[in-house]
Amino acid sequence: MKEKLEGNGIDTDKALEMYGDMVYRIAAVRMNNTADAEDVFQEVFLRLVRYRDRIGSEEHLKHWLIRVTVNCCKKQFDNAYRRYTVPLDDKREEPSCEMPERDDSVLVAVRALPPNYRDVIHLFYYEQYSVREIGEILGLGESAVKTRLSRARDLLRDKLEGGL
């Protein structure tokens, strides 16, 4: 029999259904391969089970999930960097995320950006958060978010126009 995962107002089972895609998208955009994105996905929801008592509201839950996903991606990226770093003469093809692979794909262009820029682009253009909200979620000042957004846009423009 399936156990209901409830704790202090947060139904973790429901959260998995409701925010699973959101977490997966952030992880997939941030990480360079499916396995790492899936590891991040699992880690985020396991943390939710551990820390659900600290989450008070639905809005808090969404922000918490985004912040934890970004943090887990950073951690996983560091681990993945060590795991997949190989000497230049032993370079191999790495498994890539299951995503559209067209060269002119916006998603491919975003994934080619530096990791910090991917977060702000995703939160701004996909989750449609304001600069202030992105700052709150990522723990950045508004000016830092604006700078990252502006540089990310310039890089994206170069990539997309260059690709055409």
Partner 1 sequence: MWKQDENPYREETQRLHAPRELVERTRTAMQEETVRLEREKRKKMHRWGAYAAAACICIAALGGYGGYRYHADNFTVISEIEAAEQEDSWEAGLSLGKSAEEPEEDEHRQEEKVTAVSGEERGIAPEALWEVPVSRIRGQEVYIGRDKGTYYAAWEKEGKFWFVHTDEMKKEEFLKYLKEMI
Q: Scanning residues 72 to 91, which ones bind partner 1 (CB under 8 A)?
A: none
Cβ pair 88, 96 in contact under 8 A: no
- Is 85 or 128 the residue whose CB approaches partner 1 more closely? 128
Minimum distance, C-beta of residue 49 to partner 1, in the bound complex (Å)? 5
Stretch that binds partner 1, among 11-19, 57-65, 76-84, 132-140 (CB under 8 A): 11-19
> How many other C-beta atoms can be found within 10 angstroms of the C-beta atom of residue 152?
22
| 110 lies in the site for partner 1, by CB under 8 A | yes
- Is 54 or 86 the residue whose CB approaches partner 1 more closely? 54
CA 90 to chain centre: 29
Minimum distance, C-beta of residue 98 to partner 1, in the bound complex (Å)? 8
- Is 17 or 89 the residue whose CB approaches partner 1 more closely? 17
Which of residues 45, 64, 117, 129 is near partner 1 by CB under 8 A?
A: 45
Among residues 48, 60, 70, 55, which one has the least CA distance to residue 118? 70
Burial 21-38 (b: 16+ CB within 10 A, else e): ebbbbbbbbbbbbeebbe
Among residues 57, 70, 55, which one has the least CA distance to residue 23? 70
- Is 130 or 139 the residue whose CB approaches partner 1 more closely? 130
What is the SS3 assignment for 25?
Answer: helix
Which of residues 18, 33, 38, 151 is near partner 1 by CB under 8 A?
A: 38
> How many other C-beta atoms can be found within 10 angstroms of the C-beta atom of residue 16?
16
Is residue 49 exposed (0-12), middle (13-18) or buried (19+ Cβ within 10 Å)?
middle
- Is 137 or 156 the residue whose CB approaches partner 1 more closely? 156
> How many other C-beta atoms can be found within 10 angstroms of the C-beta atom of residue 11?
15
Binding residues for partner 1, rule: CB under 8 A, are: 2-3, 5, 12-13, 16-17, 20-21, 23-25, 28-29, 38, 41-42, 45-46, 48-50, 99-100, 105-107, 110, 121-122, 125-126, 153, 156-157
